[in-house]
Structure 1
Amino acid sequence: MAAPSLEDKLVVAISSRALFDFEEENRVFEGGDPQAYMKLQLQRLDQPAQPGIAFSLIRKLLAFNDPDKQRVEVVILSRNDPVSGMRVFRSAKAAHIPLSRGVFTQGRPPFGYLHPLRAHLFLSANAQDVREALAAGFPAARVLTESMVASVNYPNEVRIAFDGDAVLFSDEAEKVFQRDGLEAFQLHELTKAAQPLPDGPFKPFLTALHRLQQAGDPSMRIRTALVTARSAPAHERAIRTLMDWNIQVDEAMFLGGLPKGEFLRQFEPDFFFDDQTRHVDQAARHVPAGHVASGIANVV
């Protein structure tokens, strides 16, 4: 029998609060009494937690696995204590989510374990953990636990929406916009239309999704969307960049600064990633959303 390995798998690391609704328990933890939190989780050991904001995304990604081929691995990466971790695994079992691996650090930052996991994505409700994961080179987003839950209308599709600049692409163009305004940004992108944008923090995750889609599964598919504030003529550089990567997205929305929320509600993603808090906050009223704390818009 071959040794266990995460090679050739899409690996998602996720915190317990991103996967399950532990907001009530978390208020006890943030009250400064970790022992009370642990006691509460132990008392509720046989009470399965309700699905959290990223639950739909994880459930659908795991549906790409079958007995003959494990294409996706989901690992709990949590600041929880090991005792509380028992409830996480029991909740997963009750929800028919096949989880077998987890790292519980009892309050310490867990992002360092992304390296041995070779994670393609890290989802957490902890902003600092997400920032440190991004700084270490891993696609990561802070899950807005107040988001709307995902639609149930597409049970056989993983639907994921991405912002462009500072998410899929670098913030090179966004810096021009922030410094010199919209007209300079449009001119900059028009003159560089044939020059691919540098990679952004989420390109590795998009690439891993593309590989998963190419592997093929008759019962599940992936549908992606680029949802960006760009408009013509700046749209061309974004499209050409994806072409240079040999990756296609299924839908592209060039909204010219219009609010993204209602467009996302129409697309009905299992998750949406954006670098700007105003876009994420607005999107969270309609769909599951996460903040990618990268690029010029997030310089502290």
Structure 2
Amino acid sequence: MPVTLQDQLVVAISSRALFDFEEENRLFEHSDPATYLQLQRDRLDVAAAPGVAFSLVQKLLAFNTGGQQRVEVVLLSRNDPVSGMRVFRSAKAHGLHSIQRGVFTQGRDPFGYLRPLGAQLFLSANAQDVTRALQLGYPAAHVFTDSMRASSNHPQEVRIAFDGDAVLFSDEAERIFQSQGLEAFQRHELEKAAQPLPEGPFKPLLATLYRLQQMEVPDMRIRTALVTARSAPAHERALNTLMDWKIAVDEAMFLGGLPKGAFLREFEPDFFFDDQTGHVRNAASHVPAGHVRSGIAHEGMPPVPLDESSGKQP
């Protein structure tokens, strides 16, 4: 039988999203590739410290029990193959033995490999790669590498928080808000409360997590939260949409524009996804966070400058 990743949650992740390679990345940005490569060679046996998405990956891999592979994590990086060797060794040193697949493109665009992988999530410290992945239809987030690391208070529970509009849902309602204001947005959502919102880029991931949640894997659980700027009466359409999808979230926070960071600090997610840069920045001071560069807020935006994408190789 051919090897397949079908029926698994497939997460593709870059080196800098999984491990802390910020010192190496600064050297790459301010010197020549040969110097960077030599540093990685010199540090082949030095395990990199955990990065922003490490806790999420570690807990998801814990769902592979009883000889059943439910989650596949694949390294997908602009790094060179030699640096990739260090990434694999770092994964082994931190007990992530089931990470066995990786693609290292040495600076070339990596997002095309999401298709043969069948990836359901792509996490990268390169904003341009994330944008292209989203354009290709893959759930993807630009990992803010300066985010606070995940809490260790829930070792047997994966906690993931999602924004609503332009993340779980389409940006249909956000377009009304941007063009006509809050009052028109509330009126629009009240009138369409019973009409489900179209899918957003992260709906497939939420659906996959929900199926994994129903498997009742011993000693591991998933807890999800919807954390949105919506408030009553616009909350009804969001909840009706989830019910129409036959997907439940464990918590829902309708914050009416309040800063999300303090609420996320209480929820303690292993990762939070939002399409608004301000919300992600606020969240990142409390929890691991990633920017979903989708929806009307990002239409017509110029290419991401190198300093925002946090480097062009790893």
> Normalising to structure 1: TM-score of the pair?
0.99
- How many residues are matched? 299
Identity %: 74
Give the root-mean-square deviation of aligned CA atoms.
0.7
Is the CA contact 1:174–1:296 (under 8 Å) kept in the aligned structure 2? Answer: yes
Q: CA deviation at 1:3?
A: 2.6
**Partner Cα separation in structure 2 for residue 153 and residue 109 of structure 1:** 37
Is the CA contact 1:276–1:298 (under 8 Å) kept in the aligned structure 2? Answer: no
Q: What pairs up with 1:210-221 in 2 under 5 angstroms?
A: 210-221=210-221
Give the partner amino acid of 1:248: A
Is the CA contact 1:139–1:202 (under 8 Å) kept in the aligned structure 2? Answer: yes
In the alignment, which residue of structure 2 is the partner of 1:70? 69
In the alignment, which residue of structure 1 is the partner of 2:307? none
Q: What pairs up with 1:52-131 in 2 under 5 angstroms?
A: 52-98=51-97, 99-131=99-131
Q: What pairs up with 1:159-170 in 2 under 5 angstroms?
A: 159-170=159-170
Uncovered stretches (5+) of structure 2, i.e. residues with no partner: 302-314
Secondary structure of 1:189's counterpart equals helix
**Partner Cα separation in structure 2 for residue 126 and residue 171 of structure 1:** 23
Secondary structure of 1:77's counterpart equals strand
Q: CA deviation at 1:79?
A: 0.2
- Measured against aligned partners, the alpha-carbon deviations of 1:242-295 in whole angstroms (never above 9, x if no partner) come to 000000000000000000000000000000000000000000000000000000
Is the CA contact 1:230–1:257 (under 8 Å) kept in the aligned structure 2? Answer: yes
Is the CA contact 1:273–1:290 (under 8 Å) kept in the aligned structure 2? Answer: yes
- Measured against aligned partners, the alpha-carbon deviations of 1:183-229 in whole angstroms (never above 9, x if no partner) come to 00000000000000000000011011111112220210100000000
Give the partner amino acid of 2:126: N
Q: CA deviation at 1:85?
A: 0.3
**Partner Cα separation in structure 1 for residue 2 and residue 62 of structure 2:** 23
Give structure 1 regions of 4+ aligned residues with deviation exceeding 4 angstroms: none
**Partner Cα separation in structure 2 for residue 204 and residue 34 of structure 1:** 38
Give the partner amino acid of 1:228: T
**Partner Cα separation in structure 1 for residue 4 and residue 195 of structure 2:** 38
Secondary structure of 2:40's counterpart equals helix
In the alignment, which residue of structure 2 is the partner of 1:199? 199
Uncovered stretches (5+) of structure 1, i.e. residues with no partner: none
Q: What pairs up with 1:1-300 in 2 under 5 angstroms?
A: 2-98=1-97, 99-299=99-299, 300=301
**Partner Cα separation in structure 2 for residue 140 and residue 87 of structure 1:** 24
**Partner Cα separation in structure 2 for residue 274 and residue 192 of structure 1:** 23
- Measured against aligned partners, the alpha-carbon deviations of 1:18-64 in whole angstroms (never above 9, x if no partner) come to 00000000011112511111111110000000000000000000000
**Partner Cα separation in structure 1 for residue 35 and residue 188 of structure 2:** 56
Is the CA contact 1:122–1:130 (under 8 Å) kept in the aligned structure 2? Answer: yes
Give the partner amino acid of 1:240: N
Secondary structure of 2:154's counterpart equals coil
**Partner Cα separation in structure 2 for residue 195 and residue 31 of structure 1:** 52
Secondary structure of 1:166's counterpart equals coil
**Partner Cα separation in structure 2 for residue 170 and residue 72 of structure 1:** 26
**Partner Cα separation in structure 2 for residue 35 and residue 108 of structure 1:** 17
In the alignment, which residue of structure 1 is the partner of 2:305? none
